Each structure stands twice: as structure tokens, then as C-alpha cells.
Structure 1
Amino acid sequence: MTPRSPRRRLAGVALLALAAVTACGGGGQQDAKAADQGVTITMWTRAATQAQSERLVAAYNNSHKNQVKLTVIPTDNYQPRIASAAGARQLPDVFAADVIFVPNYTSQGLFLDVTDRVNKLPFKDSLAPSHMKLGTREGRLHTLPHTLDLSVWFWNKDLYAKAGLDPEKGPTTLKEFAEQATAVDEKLGKDGKVHGTFFGGNCGGCYVFTFWPSVWAAGGQVMNAEGTASLNDQAPMTDVFKVYRDLYAKGVTGPTAKEEQGPTWTGFFPKGEIGVMPMPSTTLGTMPADMKIGVAPIAGPDGGESTFVGGDSIGISATSEHADAAWEFLAWTVSDEAQVEVMAKNKDVLARTDLSGNKYSSADPRVVLINSLVAKGQTPYAPRFGETFNDPQGPWLRLAREAVFGDAAKLPQLNADINKSLQQ
């Protein structure tokens, strides 16, 4: 998931044409030759994961006879392009997709069943569990983790020191998060440039990415397992809402949080203007080199820890005529070589939980912490996730905004609207 921009509604015709692909059954002709014999396979990815995809493809192409031809598609155009290509039976050999939308694609038969292939991987039990769960349909596996992005808390150590806080001790509960944010704001916020915290208050994806982990950390859930009933009008979700509501009411969040729609919500922390806030883990490597940053797991009101495991999964298209070569590439992307020498070397989150302490990550305890959260986080499942939670016109954003900025008494009715959307 990429919460930095609001998700568009999945076009009404987007998945209607996809059912025809299920007729391809086994997923195309298998290569008669060995897997790495100079085959060129095609791959699509969305722009949000371009950097990681390009690094993996370049490393693979430099070390294999097979070659991968990568096409990067603008993120907002990606779902319609997949739908159009599926209807025309012109999908690439492999394609990545926002993990949240993988259940839609597996239900339409777009990905080849790779259960037997995955089961032969010696590290199969270490593959990112949330990604593997959403790529599973009726007990069969269809995708592998491709890129991961986790939600964590960043704090600015210099601002903490100036505010009289211990710069080496970040928050361990949501209540401490609020206390520390308030302390920074009260001590340093008089000029209006520094604020205690910030969040995307008009961005549905931002809310789920940064608020929901506090619910999970508290032992709660935001939906039922089937993704058809919302629990967002009850504790612990309402407890989380109240913390942020109080922070906004006191002016700790800064004046633009209510209007922030997503594209710029991560831009204030790197400028040294925010004390502590939830951030995507992938931004750690893009921070100013001289900025002293602490990283902590997102906690519930009274403790615990969790994260929203976002990012992309990847699979072989059901129409590929090069399934063996495609799998050879996909299996390599989760190998020790790719995960350590490509992903970890660039401070990316790893797709395998058994490699979190590798030689590159171990040099930065913050990266080790981020990688360790993959096994503790969650990725919510709902067949109608995009329409319900990411759509700027959807029911979730209305509920979240009332809970934080408006009339909390409206939550039961607004939650009923979420249920209606989930069950359509």
C-alpha cells in the first residue's frame, strides 16, 4: 500500500473483463528448456515501487542468461492497465501489485498457481506472512512478496533534546507518543515552524497505514477476518481516534493536518519541523544525512507493537508462455543473494523474516528493528478494500474525519455505511 496519495476508485469495468482469463487454467505453456536459457520475460510494476524493482531487475539481468524487460506504469493508471491487458489476454509474464489489491486479482484468476513451486523453497516459512496470506486463495498460493513498506514512528532526536526530552527514548505507548509530541510543541512551537506531530487528516490511506497498527498493537481488529464487517466504531479504534482528536484540538498537529490529502504528508519531518510522527519505513534512507532520527514500533494506547505491512506482491500471469523462466526470476528475487546484496544493501525492508540480522542491516539497529516488525505486523484483507478505505469519496474517510475533527456520535451510522460498502 502507498498511502502518500489518495487511492482512486477501481473503475467499474476494471475487473469485468478479467474473468475470461480464468479459462486459461494452468497458466500457459511451460518452457521445454531449462529455466535459465536466455529467455526474455516481461514484467510490469507501478511507479511507487520503481526504485526497488529496477535494482532487482538490473542485478538479475547482470547475472543470468534470462533477461527481464521491465515496464514502469504510473501508479494511478496501474489498475486500469492491468484490467485492460487481462481482458485482451496481453498481460506481461510477471507483474507486481499493491498487496492490498492482490485478493482481487487472485479471485479473477490473473496469477498462476505457484503452490508447488513455493513449497520447494527451503525458506518458504520465512516469507513475509502478511503478503503470503493475501496471495492465498482457497489454500493455494499465487504470489511472492516483492517490496515491503512498514509504518513506524520516527522521532527527531535534536528536537527532543531541545524540548527537554531524552533523545534516546522514543514512545513505547500511544499515550507516551501524545505526551512527547505535546512537550515538543509546547517548548518549541511558539514560532509556528515546529509542531509536535503530523498526520494526513484528509487521506483515507494515511489513516489506515498509521492509525490501524495502534489497534492491532492493543490486541484489537479493524474488521472481521472475511473483510465484510467493520469494527471501527468501537474500542480500541475509538481510543486511538481520541488520542489524535485531543492532539489536534490542542494544536499539537500543526494547522494543515486536517486538510492534508496525502501527497505531502511525509514532507514535513525531513525538514526538521516535526517532533514525532508515523512514517513509512522506506523514507528512512531518504532522510537528510545529518538528521538524528529514532525509530520505534507503532504502539497501542497502553503498549504493544505492530505495523501496517504494505508494499507489493508479485506473481506469474496466468497467460504467460514462459512460466518456468518467470518463476526462476521470482524465486531469485527472494533468494539470499537478492535480499541481502540488493535489498538490504539499500536499506530496503526484506521479504524474509530470517534475514533481518544480515550484515548490512545489522550496521543500523533501526533497520534491524524495521525488519523485525514484518513478522509482527498485519495487512488487512477485504475484497472491496479500495472502494471502502482508499477512495477519497468512500465511507471510511468520512468516518475517520468525524472521529478526529467532527461529531464522534455519528460513528455508528458511518460504520454502517462502511459495512454496506464492504458487503456489496
Structure 2
Amino acid sequence: MRSLRTPAAVAVAVLLTAVLGACGEDEAPGGNSTAGVDDGAQLTLWTRAATESVSKAYAEAYNAGHKNKVTVTAYPNEEYPAKLASAAGAKALPDLFATDVVFAPQYASQGLWADITDRFAASGVKDKVSPGHVRAGTWDGKTFAVPHTVDMSVMLYNKDLYTKAGLDPEKPPTTLKEFAEQARKIDKLGGDVNGTYFGGNCGGCVEFTFWPSVWASGGNVLDDKGTTAKIDSKEMADVFALYRSLYDEGVAAPAAKDEAGPTWLGALQSGKIGIAPGPSVWLGMIEEKGVKMGVAPITGLDGGESTFIGGDSIGIGATSTKQAQAWDFLNWTMSEAAQVEVIAKNKGVPIRTDLASNKYSSADPRIVTINSLVAKGKTPYAKNFNASFNDPQSPWLQTVRGALFGDAAKSLADGNAAITKSLQQG
């Protein structure tokens, strides 16, 4: 699941703008070539704690077969933006650094990463990797970051509860309306069983799980430039109305109203929730608790399917003097060998859309379903995304609360204006 951001990120953005103008753009020898260099360079890679295990897995595999050596350092999620700002101000950015994909437009616009446009174009994989990540790492037509990890939202459903409710566990919903109907049937089992669950007090949770239904229904959340909100649409109103009805009817667990994120996974691991949207990476975590799960795409009101493509982007630090060597590592991480033997082998989602079905995923049709969504989903693109949507003080969380538990129409209208104003700051 994508981590929640802190108010400190807003101040960090201001600091970055001030210091990045001084960042150098000199390239290492061979920097004018699109090829990487493997000459025994010692490379530093920074990441947030949420991505540490994957970053280290990449580095370990790369180091085993290359002269260059990559050392990974991870920082707590909430401290990471400030750490990057400090390093930029000191002109001491690492050779490589990864970040939550929704931060990528901000960092790209501020020149925190080196321009890798020509190298990426010559890599042969530009049209084969997560399009949402590629878009997020692009600014003014130039590429600054590539996909590093992928996490997506999907429908997760309890097969045993489906069977007990008289539903076919091999036939998940194909529309959001059907999702609601199936949740209601499961809820009728009574006792401590509930039909569904959601993060009603968590802006990031709602983005991750509700927005795909808006997209699948033909709606948008932002304009293409990420400067104007479009949350007061019919599609958004309809999605909120459906979830609101499930809460009002008691089909959604009562705790969903105040769920801020920390106990979201635990609710599904309890085995008492019939079906709910959530992060794809939770599939294994839930089954570790003995709950037999099914997976399906998140759908629109009347069909279609989409997903919120989260995860991390990675680029070369703008002040690095080893950019050709750093590119050698980045290019390798996007190779078939890395995506299959490092990511797919460990049940991760490949960043490559052409590797959705591979020798590891083919053994589990659910994994193929998850992987295939990389090419169908979206990653929101906005320079001021954090301040507008994910910060606890952002206008989005207030909008969510109103749309689910208050005056929905007014909340969406007022929220749209407030979020647009936030997106256009600076």
C-alpha cells in the first residue's frame, strides 16, 4: 500500500525549489552515450523504507553479475522527503534514488533527477514498462525517472464466505453494482461477518480504491496537466453514493467509517469481510492467515476495469558524477532477467507489461490477473499532488468525509474548488 505523507512534505517542496537551481548537470565520462558503463563504480541508491526490500533485491542480483556495485540505504517514509531536500541543498544527492510514484512529477519538475530521455528511448523497453510510471517521471517532454516497483489496487474476496453465501467463488463481480449485490448477500450471513470494508478516514486509501471505478466508468479525477480537479463529476458522485449506501445499510463494517489505514489489512485478514478493494500485495499477506482469497479487477458502475498504479519511480541523482554507470543499473532493472528472476520469482508485480504472464506467475491465474492490470491502470499526475490529496490537512480528506458521511453534493463541489486551488499553488 502506498504510504501516507506528512505535512513536512509541503515545506520540503518549497526548500527543493530553492536549492535545486544550484544542482549540477555534468555527466560522467561516456555520459553523452545512451549506453551504460560497467567499470567497477561504487554507486549509492536511496529509497524509502516501504521499498527497501525490493531495492536491495535488485542491488544484490545486479552486484552478483556486474563490476559496478550498488549500495542501498533506506530512510523512514516520513523522513525521506526532507533527507532528499537536504542532500540537494548540499549538492550531494545519491547516484540513484527512488520515491513514491506520485512524487515523481514534483521531483522531475524541480530537476532533482538527471535527464535520461535519450537513454530511455534507446533502451528498447520504453513502450513495455508501466505507462503510469513513465508519465509520472516525465516533465516538459523529458524523461527523468523509470518504474522501480509496482503496487496496484484490486478487488480481494473471501472464497469461503462466497460459498457460504451461495455465490460462485469463481465468479467475482464484473461491475461495481454487482460488487454491491454480492457484498449484500455475504452480509446476510450475519454474526460478525460484513459484506465489505473501506478506509473511510484515509484519503490515500480512498484514492487507491475508489478512483479506479471512476476511471473504469469513463470519468477523470484530474486534467492532463494536473492543475485542475475533476472530482465533482457524475462518475465520482456515483461511486461515492454506492459505497455510502453500503455503509448506511450496515453492509460495510462499522469500523470502515473511522479507518485511517493502520487496521485496514487486519480487517481483511480476519476472514470476516466478504469482498473489498485493496492493494494487490495484500493477497499473500491475507492468505498467510489461512483465508482463501480470490482476486478480480476493480470495475466501473456498469463494467470496464482499471487500477491505481502505485509503487515507486527511480532516477539518477542530478548531482551524480557517475550517471553512465547509474544508467547501467537502471537499464538492467528493466530487463527481462531482472523482472522475472528478481520480481516475479518473489511474487512481485513486474514493471514490464509484456511479462504479465511468465514462468512464475503462470502457476497462479490470480497473479496473471494482477499483472495484466499494469497496462490498464492510471497513476495520477500532478506537481502538487501531496499537498492537494495526501497530506492529512489536504482538502481531499475533508471531501471524502463529506461525500461518504455528510452532504455529498456540496462536499464534492466545494472540494473540487479547494483542490484545484491547491493544485495551482506555486
Change in Cα spacing, 1:394 to 1:24, as seen in structure 2 (3 Å) is closer
Aligned residues: percent identity? Answer: 56
Alignment correspondent of 2:54: 52
Root-mean-square deviation (CA, aligned residues, Å) is: 1.7
Alignment correspondent of 2:319: 319
3-state SS, counterpart of residue 348 of structure 1:
coil
Change in Cα spacing, 1:388 to 1:9, as seen in structure 2 (3 Å) is farther
CA shift at 1:4, angstroms?
A: 5.2
Change in Cα spacing, 1:293 to 1:24, as seen in structure 2 (3 Å) is same
CA shift at 1:324, angstroms?
A: 1.2
3-state SS, counterpart of residue 266 of structure 2:
coil
CA shift at 1:34, angstroms?
A: 7.8
Distance 1:387 1:326 in 2: 31
CA shift at 1:359, angstroms?
A: 0.6
Instruction: Using the TM superposition, name which of 119-128 and 24-33 deviates more.
Output: 24-33
CA shift at 1:409, angstroms?
A: 3.5
Change in Cα spacing, 1:87 to 1:62, as seen in structure 2 (3 Å) is same
Alignment correspondent of 1:196: 195
3-state SS, counterpart of residue 69 of structure 1:
strand
Whether 1:87 and 2:86 are equivalent positions in the alignment is no
Write out per-residue CA displacement over residues 321-366 of structure 1, whole angstroms, 9 at most, x where no aligned residue.
Answer: 1111111111111111100001000111111111111111111111
Contact map agreement 1:353 1:375 (CA 8 A) in 2:
yes
Distance 2:390 2:63 in 1: 36
Unaligned runs of 5+ in 1: none
Change in Cα spacing, 1:13 to 1:283, as seen in structure 2 (3 Å) is closer
3-state SS, counterpart of residue 269 of structure 1:
helix
Contact map agreement 2:16 2:110 (CA 8 A) in 1:
no
Alignment correspondent of 2:402: 402
Change in Cα spacing, 1:145 to 1:343, as seen in structure 2 (3 Å) is same
Q: What residue identity is the alignment partner of 1:420?
A: K
Aligned residues: 420
CA shift at 1:24, angstroms?
A: 4.2
Q: What residue identity is the alignment partner of 1:363?
A: A
Distance 1:400 1:48 in 2: 25
Q: What residue identity is the alignment partner of 2:300?
A: G
Change in Cα spacing, 1:34 to 1:54, as seen in structure 2 (3 Å) is closer
Write out per-residue CA displacement over residues 350-386 of structure 1, whole angstroms, 9 at most, x where no aligned residue.
Answer: 1111111111111111111111111110011111110
CA shift at 1:9, angstroms?
A: 4.9
Instruction: Using the TM superposition, name which of 238-247 and 406-415 deviates more.
Output: 406-415
Distance 2:16 2:231 in 1: 33
Alignment correspondent of 2:232: 233
Contact map agreement 1:31 1:322 (CA 8 A) in 2:
no
Alignment correspondent of 2:64: 62
Write out per-residue CA displacement over residues 81-135 of structure 1, whole angstroms, 9 at most, x where no aligned residue.
Answer: 1111111111100000111011111111111111111111122210111100111
Alignment correspondent of 1:329: 329
Q: What residue identity is the alignment partner of 2:28?
A: Q
Aligned equivalent of 2:101, options 99, 102, 120: 99
Contact map agreement 2:23 2:88 (CA 8 A) in 1:
no
Where in structure 2 are the equivalents of 1:301-320 lying within 5 Å?
A: 301-320=301-320
Change in Cα spacing, 1:17 to 1:99, as seen in structure 2 (3 Å) is closer
Q: What residue identity is the alignment partner of 1:147?
A: T
Contact map agreement 1:10 1:79 (CA 8 A) in 2:
yes
Change in Cα spacing, 1:35 to 1:182, as seen in structure 2 (3 Å) is same
Change in Cα spacing, 1:371 to 1:393, as seen in structure 2 (3 Å) is same
Q: TM-score, normalised by structure 2?
A: 0.95
